[in-house]
Structure 1
C-alpha cells in the first residue's frame, strides 16, 4: 500500500529527504512544500556583472561574470556526512562539475587568525608548531603538554569556552576556539554547547579523561548506518583521504539545482513553491497541513523548517523548539582585477570579542580568500575574490543595533571595505561587489542542547507517534554534509522501521539523541 509524505522546507535538508525518499521508497507519494520562490535555502551561487549589487541579482549566469557565493562555498568530505554528500553528487552525475582541493594545496595548509594587530599563520605541522609559533600560539604548546594532568569533569555539558579554558587555558579558549566558533557558527564560544558543537573534544575527555590522550586513541565506532555511508566510497579511490574540501565549478547551488531537476523528473514527487504552511494538526491517523487557502492530509510529515518556525505551526505544541536563537550574518563578496593578495591560504578568522586585543573593526567574523580556496571557477585567473563575514553574535557591535531588516546594504558594504583596509591593507575599489544580509541563518546550540533534544523526542513520540519527524540545521549539525547525512538517516529509519515501514519504532529524527 502506498503512503504519502510531506516534506516541509526546500533547503538542502528538505531536498535531501525528498531525494532519499524517492530512491528508497518509490511507491511513496512525496510532496515538498517551500514557502519562497526558489529551493536551496541558504545555498545560493550567482554570477554577477561588474559594479555594486545590494542583494543577489537574478541576472542570467554569464560565464564572463564573477561567481559569488551567498552561503556555503566549500564542503568537507570527512566522515559519514562527507561520504553521503559525495555519493549523492556522484549519483546526480556531477563528477565533471566537481572541484577537489587537495590537502597539499596552500589553502588547505595555510589558515590564519587575526590577533595582536596582525594576521597570524597557524602551524600546519609539528615542526612549525615547535619552531615558528605565531603570537596567537603563545602558551598553547605548554597547555597541550599539561592538559593530560587536568582532572576530568563529571559535567553533563558546558560551554565551549568553559571546557577549553578548564582543560587548556583562557587564551586558547578566547583566541583559538573563539575564532573557530566564528568560522563555523558565527557564534559565541561562551554560550555554545561543547557537547553539541565540538563533540570530538567532549567525547575525548569522557572516554580518556583527557582531550590530548583521547584524540590519539581510537574514536567511538560509527553506527551501522553511518559506516555504510563511508563504505560506499571505499571503491572510489582515496578521494576523502587526499581531499581537504570540494566544490563545484558553478558554485554550491549546482548541487541543489541538480537535486531539484532530479526530483522534478520523478513521477512520485511534487514540488510546490511560494506556499506558506500556516498550521499542522493531527487528524485521526493523518497529519493535516493548512497552507495559505488550501489543506492536504498525509500519512507523515518531515519538517526541515527552522525549529522556531515549526513551533508556530503545531496545533499540539512541543517543548524546546524555540529555545535556541539563530544569528544574523552579513555576507559581502568582493572581486578585484588590480591587486595581489600577499596571503596564500583559505582566509582568516577573528578571536572572541572578550580577547584582550580588540578588533579594529568590531563585529568582523572573518574573511575568506575565495580565489585561493576554490580554483577553477573563473575564466580570469587574475581575479582576486574575497568574502567578508560580519555580525553573527556580534551583530550589534558590527551595525550599531540596527535590526537585520533595517540595516542599509550600502553601510554594510562600507563596513566591509573598512574591514579589508584594516586587516589586509586593501584600499582599492573592487570591480565587483555584492551584499547579502542573512537573517537567523545559523542556529546556536546553547548549553544543554542534547538534553533538550531528548525531551523533544519523547514529547514528539508521545503526541504525534508515527506522524511527524524532523531534520535540518536546528537539531544535529549545521553544515551541509550534516544536513544531508541526517536526512538520509531519517529516511532510512522511516522506511525500514518507522512510519513508512513496519511501524515497530516511532521515528522522530532524534532517536539517536534519546538512546
Structure 2
C-alpha cells in the first residue's frame, strides 16, 4: 500500500544520498498500491479506494514534489460546491460554515431545516457554556452532545464524521480523530469561539506565506511557476462540512501516485505475489520467509493492517500481538456506477446520510462532478457507499441493486448504468476508539523492544493518505537511525517494507 511504497522510496532516496541501503518490498497481491488504484474503462476512471486527499497535511504534497508529479495534481471542480445531508428522505445543504460538528456562522445555521428550531438554538447556546472538565479523552458523541446537543450529533456530526471513519461516534476517540475541537474548548472555553480564532490565525498565516512567496517570486531570476498555488489554497469557497477546497487528486486518478512510486524503485526491489509467511528475530536482524524461501534483513518495516501485523509478530512477541489486535478495523463497500448520459444532479460533490435515516447507503460521491476527467463529457460517474453489514454479507448483485435504488429514491436517477463496479474493504478501516492514543503509545513502546522492527500504516496515527505516507516515511527514518553505526563496524543494512 501507500505506506509501504512511501517507506521504500524514502529508503531509496537515502541510498542515492550516499547511505548504503538495499531495499526489498514484498507485496502479497499481484498489483501494488493496496486499496489505492484507478481502473480505466470505456472513458471512465474508477477509483478502487480513496479518490483524493487533504492538502493541509503536507506529507503527500511533498512526496509528489520529490516524485516529480506536482504538475499532475488536480483540485476539486469549481462548478460544484459542498455536500448535502438527507433528512426524512429530502436533501438539504450543510449550513455554510458548519465545520464537521460545530456551527461557525449563526445566520446560516439558524436558516437550516436540518435541525428543529430548538435543536438549532441548543447548538448555538454552546458559545455561552462553561469549559468542560479536563479529560484525557472522551467519545466524539459525548463531546458533541454536551457542547451542541443531540440533534447536532444525530443530523450533522454523525454522518460527516462517519463518512471519514466509518465508525460509531459513541466509540470514536475525540482526541485521536478531531483534536482541534478539543483544543478549541480547552483554550477558548467555547468551541465556536475557538474555531473562529483558529480560522483567523490560519488566515493570517496564509496571508503571510502568500506575501513571502510573492516576494520570493519577484526576487527570483528564474522562470515564473506555471502553478497558481498548491492545491487546496484559498479559493473563496467557504467550508461546509468537509473542507473541499483543501482536497486534491491527480489528473488520471490516484493510480498516478502509485505508478510514480513504483517507477522510482530500482528494478528488482518490488516482489509482487509474495506474501510473507513468517517473521522471526535473528540476532540484531530478522528472518523473512515467503514461498520463495527465507531471507535475512537488518531492518524490517511492516506496513499492514494491525490484525495482520499481529499474526506476523505473535510467535516472537505475544504481548505486542495482543496490543495490535485491540485496534478495531471496520468494513464498507462502494458501488461505482457509470452513466453514458449526463444526469440531473445538484451542483455539489456528494451527500451524506445519517444513520437515523435507516437507509442502506451512508454516503454518495458525484465523482465526475468532483474531479475533472473522471467520465466522458456527456457521461457521469457516481459512487455509492454502503455500510459494514452489507459489505460483509451481501452479494455484488445485491449491492448494485441497493445502490441503484438509493440513487433513484434520493436523486431521481433512473437510467440504466453502462456498468457497475463493486469494491469491498473488509476489516480495512481502522477505528480509533476512546483511549486510542494510549493503545498506540503502548504498541510503539513494545515494538521498540525490537530495534530491527518498525511499524507503518494507518492503524496508529491517522487514517488519511497523507497520514499513511508520513507513517511510512517515519518508519523508514527510524529504520535508518537504528542502522546508524560507524561504516567499518557493520555491513550495509538491507531494509524491507513488508506490504500486505
Question: What band does the TM-score fall into relative to the shorter chain?
Answer: 0.7 to 0.9
The within-5 A match list for 1:143-222 is 143-217=123-197
Cα gap change, 1:407 to 1:241, in 2 (>3 Å): same
1:414 positional shift = 0.5
Does the CA contact (< 8 Å) of 1:97 and 1:248 recur in 2?
A: yes
Does the CA contact (< 8 Å) of 2:131 and 2:185 recur in 1?
A: no
Report whether the alignment pairs 1:134 with 2:134: no
CA–CA distance in structure 1, aligned partners of residues 473 and 31 of structure 2: 22
Cα gap change, 1:163 to 1:146, in 2 (>3 Å): closer
Q: Which residue is equivalent to 1:501? A: 484
Q: Which residue is equivalent to 1:250? A: 252
CA–CA distance in structure 1, aligned partners of residues 483 and 416 of structure 2: 57
Deviation track 1:234-286 (CA, whole Å, cap 9, x = no partner) reads: 67763242353221222111110111011135xxx711111121222222111
CA–CA distance in structure 2, aligned partners of residues 292 and 132 of structure 1: 63
1:71 positional shift = 0.7
Cα gap change, 1:335 to 1:206, in 2 (>3 Å): same
Cα gap change, 1:115 to 1:13, in 2 (>3 Å): same
Structure 2 SS opposite 1:277 = coil
CA–CA distance in structure 1, aligned partners of residues 36 and 181 of structure 2: 29
Report whether the alignment pairs 1:94 with 2:65: no
Q: Which residue is equivalent to 1:238? A: 229
CA–CA distance in structure 1, aligned partners of residues 483 and 15 of structure 2: 8
CA–CA distance in structure 2, aligned partners of residues 137 and 452 of structure 1: 39
Cα gap change, 1:445 to 1:131, in 2 (>3 Å): closer
Deviation track 1:38-85 (CA, whole Å, cap 9, x = no partner) reads: 110111211124xxxxxxxxxxxxxxx21111211122211xx3x221
Cα gap change, 1:471 to 1:116, in 2 (>3 Å): same
TM-score by length of 1: 0.79
Report whether the alignment pairs 1:387 with 2:383: yes
CA–CA distance in structure 2, aligned partners of residues 116 and 476 of structure 1: 36
Alignment counterpart, residue 469 of structure 1, candidates 426, 446, 454: 454
Structure 2 SS opposite 1:410 = helix
The within-5 A match list for 1:475-486 is 475-486=460-471
1:363 positional shift = 2.9
CA–CA distance in structure 2, aligned partners of residues 101 and 45 of structure 1: 17
Deviation track 1:443-465 (CA, whole Å, cap 9, x = no partner) reads: 11111111111111222223x1x
Structure showing greater relative contact order (alpha-carbon pairs closer than 8 Å, 6 or more residues apart): 2
The within-5 A match list for 1:113-512 is 113-125=85-97, 126=105, 129=108, 132-136=111-115, 138=117, 139-140=119-120, 142-217=122-197, 238-239=229-230, 240-242=232-234, 243-264=245-266, 270-292=269-291, 294-314=293-313, 315-317=316-318, 318=320, 319-351=322-354, 353=355, 355=356, 358-359=357-358, 362-378=359-375, 380-392=376-388, 395=389, 399=390, 404=392, 407-462=394-449, 464=450, 466-495=451-480, 498-501=481-484
1:493 positional shift = 4.5
Does the CA contact (< 8 Å) of 2:453 and 2:479 recur in 1?
A: no
Deviation track 1:404-440 (CA, whole Å, cap 9, x = no partner) reads: 3x53211111111111112112222112321122212
Report whether the alignment pairs 1:24 with 2:27: no
Q: Which residue is equivalent to 2:237? A: none
CA–CA distance in structure 2, aligned partners of residues 84 and 28 of structure 1: 23
* Structure 1, gaps ≥5 residues long: 1-10, 50-64, 223-229, 504-515
Alignment counterpart, residue 75 of structure 1, candidates 43, 53, 62: 53
CA–CA distance in structure 2, aligned partners of residues 100 and 289 of structure 1: 41
CA–CA distance in structure 2, aligned partners of residues 31 and 92 of structure 1: 19
CA–CA distance in structure 1, aligned partners of residues 83 and 89 of structure 2: 16
Alignment counterpart, residue 33 of structure 1, candidates 14, 26, 32: 26
CA–CA distance in structure 2, aligned partners of residues 391 and 196 of structure 1: 23
1:371 positional shift = 1.3
CA–CA distance in structure 1, aligned partners of residues 185 and 323 of structure 2: 27
CA–CA distance in structure 1, aligned partners of residues 345 and 327 of structure 2: 40
Report whether the alignment pairs 1:15 with 2:17: no
CA–CA distance in structure 2, aligned partners of residues 93 and 500 of structure 1: 29
CA–CA distance in structure 1, aligned partners of residues 412 and 465 of structure 2: 33
Q: Which residue is equivalent to 1:5? A: none
1:218 positional shift = 5.1
TM-score by length of 2: 0.81
CA–CA distance in structure 1, aligned partners of residues 122 and 162 of structure 2: 25
Cα gap change, 1:453 to 1:25, in 2 (>3 Å): same
* Structure 2, gaps ≥5 residues long: 98-104, 203-208, 217-226, 235-244, 487-500
Q: How many pairs are equivalent?
A: 440
CA–CA distance in structure 2, aligned partners of residues 43 and 451 of structure 1: 29
Does the CA contact (< 8 Å) of 2:25 and 2:271 recur in 1?
A: yes
Structure 1 SS opposite 2:61 = helix
Measured on the aligned residues, the alpha-carbon RMSD in Å equals 2.7
Cα gap change, 1:153 to 1:291, in 2 (>3 Å): farther
